[in-house]
Each structure stands twice: as structure tokens, then as C-alpha cells.
Structure 1
Amino acid sequence: MEKLHDVAGEVSQQGAPIPCDVLTGYLGSGKTTFLNRFLKSSEALGTAVVVNEVGEIGIDQVILGEVSDNVLLLDSGCLCCSLNGALRETLLNIAAQAKRIGMPLRKVVVETTGLAEPLPVLHSLIGDRALAGYFALGRVITTVDARLAAEQIRMQRETARQVAVADVLVITKTDLVDAAQVSAVGTMTIAMNPRARRIDAAADNALHAAFCEATPDREPIAPLEALAHQHEHGHHDHARGVHETLVGAESFWIDGDTSWPGIAAWWQLVVERYGARLLRCKGLFRLKETQAAVLIQGVGTHFYPPETLLRWPIGDNRARLTVIGEALERDWLASSLRALRIDEAGLLPRNLDELDRILPGQH
């Protein structure tokens, strides 16, 4: 095995980082079948796949190997248990090998085991310094079994968290249930994750929509008009399973510009409140200092360096924010947004009472 720094030295940092999509979903939800279909399509040209399975003998990579030579298997075991080193080395080796043979590497798809907790995978792809400049998190694609989704979301914590952090939800096996059940799954997942795009795996454009359309990070939370309606409808009418799992998402428009101290203060406040219950946050803000548009991301309790965008996404230019987690309180989160008005460094409130003392009378 080549030394990591030697492999990294072979990988060019010129150009945009290669997007790494994370394909997740509970056991038997159709991940491999959906990925197999994509690899057979012309749009998969330049795609490498990393498969992770639980157990001593890998099966999925054999299935995928029937249609693609660009399939690599991580050491057996769960990505959430021993991810960093194995995935980092595999990705850098993929890039180095592609460069040696002159193959244009356009995308990597990391297929996780159905038992994987999604957050460590996202941590590695966002925060691993060895991968910075070479690879970047693309989209999180979660497959959801239309037949079993309601029960799995209620009973399996992994399913609920996989749904909650998704950028794209692919509803599989819709041909095996009636329209009412498909609709119920859609309503349940909307209440848990209103910002994700929903795709019927059987639709003609499903593969393109899931794997090939614009990376969600460039337009992270849209359209918000639909979000507000979907959120209210889902929580009040059809979210029995969501209430039982306590996983959900809250989205907000934010008027006005903010600053680095305000973003830091808000993040401190939210981490103090939710701790391990916090799954993911994504937001787009305009900075007072520079008028630059910045994308912020948090995974779990870790906040990653904001990314400055070249331009504000087309459409409404208000700041926007989505928080995903367990047992979120919309009213509390709405009150916490006042922390974004803080413009003095070092002011890090731990609760709303402390925020009131920092910003008296600003409710």
C-alpha cells in the first residue's frame, strides 16, 4: 500500500474538487439496485464507486462489478465505526489511479451499509484536511422503501437520521404499494426533512435527478415558500411516525445581513441547547463585512469553515437556514436567531437568558 502523502502528491489540486455523493438508506431499501441502474447509464461515465458492507464477505461490490469496473470495496465493517483512514486512503488512491491512466474522474459515489450512522461519513467528506482540494461532499442520497418506511422510521433510529440529513430522497418499490401509501410516505418524510427533493425511483428521470443535477450546496434551501407550507402541513396532520422518532427539520428566512461574530454566537447557542441531538445545519448568509455570500454547514456539534460563494444563488436574496435534529423546538430556534445580530467577537451566549442580556430589548 502506498504511503498516503505519496498518493496525495500525485493528485492534482487544479480545478474544482471532485464531488462525493453519499448513498445511504436502511437495509433492503434498494440502494444497490438504484446505483446499479445508474452505472449502466451513459451519465455514469467517469464515476467511481466505493462500497462498504458489514460482514466478512462483500456482496454488493460483486453485484455492482457486473456493470462497472470502477468499484472499490472498503475493508469490511461499518463506515461509521472506522471511516476516516480507510475512506481517505481509498479516495486519494482513486484520484491517483485515474490521473495515471488519464481517466477523467467526474464523481465518486460512496455507498454505505444500511446500518451506517450518516454523520461520521459527512464529517470525513467535509472536514478531512487530507481530502480538502481534491474531494468535496456532493449530495446525500437516501433510499426509502415505500412498503416499510413508516415502520422503519418509527422503530429504526438509523432510518430516521438517514432521512433527516438527505438532500435527495429516493422512494423505492412504489410499484408494490398503492397511491395512498406512497402519499403517506411522502408526507411523513416532508415533516422530517422539508428541504430534500423527493424522487420516485421508477420515474424516467430518477437517475439524472438523483445523481446529476446541480449540487445542493450551491442552492442549499429552496424553494422556501413550499417549505413553509410543507412543514406546517406535515407536523399538524400526518406525522405520527415523526413525532415518535422526534427527528425533524426547521427552516427559516432571515432578514438582513449578519457577521462572523453573529454566526459564531448562534452556533454556540444551538450546540448548548441540543448537543448530540443536533444532526445537521445548512445556511446561506450575506456578511456585513464584505457583502459576500457564505454557505455554513454544521454536522453534529462540529461547525465547518464557511464557504464563500462566487455569487448569490438566483432568486430570493434573503438569508436562509435549515436545522435538522431530534426534538427541535421551532419557537426556541426562532428566538435563537437574534444571536445573528451580535457583531462583537467573543460574545457566546449559552442560553436565551444570556442572549437577552447581550441584546436587551431586541425581541
Structure 2
Amino acid sequence: MIDQFAFDFTFFRGRVALASVLKAMGIGRGDEVALQAYTCVAVPEGVMASGARPIYVDVEAGGVTMSPASLEERITERTRAIVVQHTFGYPANMTEIMRIAQNHGLPVIEDCAHTYWSEHDGRRVGTFGAAAYYSLEWAKPLVLGVGGGLVVNDPSLNPAISAIHASLSQPSAARDARLRLQYIAFTSLYGPTRFWAIKKTYAALSSAGVAEKSFNDMEREPASDFGLTLAPSVEARLRRKLPGFRADWGRNKSIVDAYLRGLAGCSGVQQIAAPDVDRIMFARLPLWAADKPRMLSVAQDIGFELSDWFESAVDPLQGAGFASVGYVPGSCPNAETSAEHIVSLPCNDKVSPAMAERAGRQFASMLSAEAA
């Protein structure tokens, strides 16, 4: 069992790694790249930065990962690659997806932003495709601020990726200083019981241009981020932290089990099922809520972190914003339904099993009282 991790290349963000791989594959204008809906706008942003067009694949009904059946339907003569997302830590059905990819002669790129260690049928995510990219941003398994990493499984891609990487610049000293301060503030202040206050403050600072935004304006040309490599302060942090980054299966399971014990018997909330062949290392524990707005309201009342993402099929876009990334509302109904119902709880190192069980009981108590 591999319990240590290393990147082949690092970039300013995970989406920059994705764009770089697509360019190294010779993918660009006139080409299509298949990816799942129920995703973050960063994924189609990375595809579009390569010049290609994103094509959206639905997720499994009641789930969070790509539907192989939908993938088969959406592939066209212009499709040049498939991006497969392991959402929240749930591995996609790589057995079927790789079969489809091989039948069509298409390379697979794995989006491992949410998990480094989850397994499908005894094999670790990130080892199936030609390459896999990772995120080092907030709410991810390894939080370093802003950054992305890439693992290349197809050696033939290395020369082109190396050339692309060599052409990138470092962020300015001013931007690096801002990232350093933002990381210090986050690590000093963040905790599940302070989540709502921090979220409000971060939104205000991002709007004011003081904090680094997670999302770029999709109405414009590709952001300057796509010309950048990892910030120096983040690179130094990565060198310090990566050697000690391990797969702590026991701790992750104890937190998930504690949440579920606390939530036991809670009406209107259930865990999302996973196939027996999957072994999951959760970045967050997603739950299917019958009434998502009410559960989010309860979370604020009890003062505990509960995330609403993904809020839409391409989070955080809504309404007319979908056109900027080529998503057609109604084209991926399962993804849209998942966005209407799924919330998620943190599984990071600021959460203890006792804290998780207590929060679960508080949710159950308030939600069950209302249902009575």
C-alpha cells in the first residue's frame, strides 16, 4: 500500500495543471473534453484555457460521480479527452470509464482535488489515467493556500509538460505576500464552529480584492493564473508538509462513523451509497438532505460547518452564468438534483470524533423535532 505522495509538477492552481496536460496532449481549439456536471467552475475553466470546449456528462442518479452510461452517450467525433472527478472522495467507476475510454481511444485525466487515497477495486485513484491533478486549496485534503499538483502516468507527456511548465512565471512578490498572509489567517482562525463567521468575512474580503478569490470571471479571456507556477511561499510550505502527508484511514473513518452515529435516526438525511469495490477517504462527508435550505439554516443555528457546494451543476454559477462555460440547464438532470439536495460536513484535522458526534446529534435533534 502506497502511503506517501509526490508530485511530478506543481502549478499555481489545479486548473492550471489541467490546462497544461490538455495542451501537452495537443488538445485545443475545435476539440471537446468530456467532464461531469455537479462540479466546480474551475474544471471547465481549465478546459477552456486550453482552447477546448467542455462537454458535460451526467452523474449517477442520487450520486456524485460520472455516469458511464451518460459518458457513452455524450462522446462525439470531436471528443479528445475525458476528465474524471472523484467527488468528495467517492471514486468514479473507473472500471467502466476506462473501458469506454479505451474503446474510443481517448485519454483520461483524473481530477483528484478531493482525495489522494481513495481506491476503486483495490487500486488508488490517480493511477488509472494518463495523468491526475490535485488541489492544495481550502477544504482540500492537503491545504497549503492556493496551488495545484500534477502526477503524470504516461511518460510520453513529460517533455511537453516540462516545456509548458518552464514557460510559466512565478506570481508577483506582492501576490505571494498576500497568499502568505491569507494562509496564516486561515490556519489561525479556521475551525468548524467558526465556519459561518469566517465564510462571511472571506466573501467580503474577496469582493474587495483583499483575499485571493477561488473563482475567476468566466466572461473574460483565460485568467492570468494560467501563466503562473506555484507561489514561492506555497512551494516552501509544500516541501515542509508533503513528506509527512500520509493516508490516515483510521482517523478519517472514525470521524465519518461519529457523524453517522450522531445522525442516526434523523429523518430527511441519509448518506450517499457507494459500491462495495470502493474504499473512500473522505475530504468531506456528503449527505443527501430532503430539505437542503433547512439543514443549512440549522447548521447556522447550532454554529457548525455545513457546506452547500456544489450549489449548482457548475458551482457557483446560476442562471445566465451557465452559458459562459457552455452548460445547458436541464442537460444533466441527476447532477442538478444532487445540487439541490447534497450538503457536506468537514473531515479535516480540526474535527475530532467527539466533535463530529456532538454535531450530528445536534442536527438530528433539531431536524427531528421539526418533523414531529
Which one has more relative contact order, counting CA pairs under 8 Å at least 6 apart? 2
- Between structure 1 and structure 2, the one with the greater Rg is 1
Query: Is this a same-fold pair by TM over 0.5?
Result: no
